Each structure stands twice: as structure tokens, then as C-alpha cells.
Amino acid sequence: MEQTVVFPDKGYAEFGRCFLESGIKKINVVCGSSFKRLAIGKFITEFFAANNIETVFFSDFQPNPDYESVVRGVDAFKSSGCDSILAVGGGSAMDVAKCIKLYATMPLGSDYINQKIVPNDIPFFAVPTTAGTGSEATRFAVIYYNGVKQSVTDYSCIPQVVLFDPSVLETLPDYQRKVTMLDAFCHAVEAFWSVNSTDESKAYSKDAIRLILNNMDSYLKNEYDGNKNMLMAANIAGKAINITQTTAGHAMCYKLTSLYGIAHGHAAALCVSELWPYMIENTEKCIDSRGEKYLGSVFVEIAESMREKSPLDAAAKFKNIVESLGLKAPEIKSEGDFDVLKKSVNPTRLKNNPVELDEDTIDMLYHKILK
């Protein structure tokens, strides 16, 4: 399925036509608290009312949403008789909306997460309000089940229509602006070195890295073009991750997020900052079937994409960006945290990492991250 991407350069009329052409009658709007403050929120509310499209809002979820939130969303979707879904928000809203779509055709009240997913054609629209996760481009949704992170996946959860509206980023808090950009950056580099990379995914990674670096200053200044291009960069990085999946940088970051209450992109950037140079200096531990020489060439390609002379220069540039944004490592609570952290790493995601990491190495990296 080819995804339709719409920009509001001439207003929201084109986005509105997408709803009318789909023939929907009652839409489930999954959104965060910012919805009512956004211009697109006002447009959507008025447009649906003017065109007799009933609206059912669902916002009963938190950041890093849990399975129970999704169950409530599915119940709301089914009981109200909705025929379509619109997600407006960051990664959490996207994840909840994706799961509602995937679970909506399962028997009500079933244990959704353990059922086989059957693809469906429920119309699905999306308006990302952060430039980071690229969730609108991927087949993955992340939720927490009994406190454990679960990845729900199926290609049918990718939205058919996406609106990239730079104005939604204008009120983004400074911290969220920084960390979501770094999440996109981490997606791009992790997809680049993943053992699952392809020529297509590497092309996406290169484009995303260049877009991020070329537009970083403008984006951080909250300029229209910078916001627009960062939305595109996050989407392209999402397309790369959609092919490759994430690697050790993300595998190591999830517990940092929950243990210390820092944002996902912040945690991912801290992990990648230490992981990257370690892998460059330990290519002899390569587990990519294409071999150590190939892996070395990938690190060179990443450096070239960042306009750096060497792989270590590229890794240092990334770390300098993180530090220049004032994104420090959290203070360690107790030495016992390191034991919790190293045991939290998902071995499945380590299989995507091109350099083998044992528990001692992971522990060492966490000590470097948290200093």
C-alpha cells in the first residue's frame, strides 16, 4: 500500500478531501492533550461537523501507553460503531491508534495481545505532532503489558494518509523538540548499521541523516522550513527502521527511560553516544553475515553522510550534538541500578546489532553512559 502524504501549504483542503473520498461516517480520533490547541484540531472538528462525520474522541492513555489503555480504546471504537481512525499526536497516540486498528476486528474482550493479527482495511489517518518517532511510517506499535514492553507489528497498521503540518511543532516544548529530533537521528544510524539493512534502507538512512543535519539549526529555532523538513526526516528514518528494526541503542534505552523518567529520545541518544564508538573500535566482534570488512565500510558511509572524515569523527560529532543540547545523563540512584539495566536488554534486538554485545560489555557501556 502506498502511503499518501499531504502538506498544508495551501491549507487543509486536500487533507479534508481524503476523508470525503474514503466514504467514512464515524471516526475515532485518538489524540493527546494538545489537540484542541492546534489549528489542525480546530479544522478537523469543524470539518467533520460540516460534513456530517460523527466524531468519537479517545485520549484515555499516558506516555508509554499500557495494554489496558488500548483495551479501553478498542472498547470505545467498537461500542460507538466507528468505521475509521485518526491519530493526532506523538508516538504514544500513534501506538494506541495502531493497536486499536489491529485489535478492532478481534472478538470483544479477547486477549488481544496473544491473538493472531488478521490485517484489516479500516481507514486510518495520521497527523504526527512531533518530529521524531516516525511512527506514521512503521508497522510497529509499542505498548506495555504487565509492565513489560511489547512490540505489536503488522503492515496493516501503517496509516494510509498522513498530514505533515509544520505548525503543530510551533508549541513543542524545547526539551521535547531536542529529544524527538535525536530519536529520529538514532533511528537513521541504527537502521544504517543494522544486520537487516538493505540498499533501500541505507538510502533512507542517508537521506534522513542529511535532512536532520541540514535543518537542525532552523528546527531548533522553530522556523517553518526547519519544522517541515524535520517531520520529513523523521518519516524517512521511520521508513528505514520499518525495514531493519532497531538495534542495541534502542534495546538499551528503554529501561533508562522508565528507571530515570527521561524521554525516550534522550535515553536513546545517550546509549548510541557510547555504543557507536565502541562498535567502531570492535569490528572484530562483527556478527553481520556480510562480514567485518562490510561493517567497516558501513561506518565509513555513515561518516560520509555526516560529512566527517572518519567513523570516529562521526561518532564524536553525534556525541557533541547531544552534549551541546544540554542532554546530560541522569544521576545513578544506586549501584544496583546497573544490574537492573543490564538484565533489561531485549536479546531479540541485540540480534539486529552488527557487533556482539555480552552482558559484561552492556554493563560497561551503562557505566560509561551514567559515568
For residues 284-298, average pLDDT? 98
Domains belonging to the chain, first-starting first, are 4-168 (3.40.50.1970), 172-370 (1.20.1090.10)
pLDDT per position as a tens digit, 321-340: 999 999 999 999 889 999 99
pLDDT per position as a tens digit, 65-85: 999 999 999 999 999 999 999
Distance, in Å, from the CA atom of 141 to the CA atom of 155, rounded to the nearest integer, reads 11
Q: What are the CA-CA distances from residue 341 to residues 19, 168, 254, 288, 338 (Å)? A: 45, 35, 9, 25, 5
Angle subtended at Cα 179 by Cα 261 and Cα 266, rounded to the nearest 5 degrees: 45
Structure-block grid coordinates of residue 124? 486510518
**Is the whole model's pTM more than 0.85, yes or no?**
yes
26-31 and 124-128 beta bridge pairing: unpaired
Question: Do 234 and 224 form a contact (C-beta atoms < 8 A)?
Answer: no
Q: What are the CA-CA distances from residue 50 to residues 34, 86, 99, 136, 291 (Å)? A: 22, 17, 29, 27, 59
State the Cα torsion 208-191-178-251 to the nearest 10°. 170
pLDDT per position as a tens digit, 166-198: 999 999 999 999 999 999 999 999 999 999 999
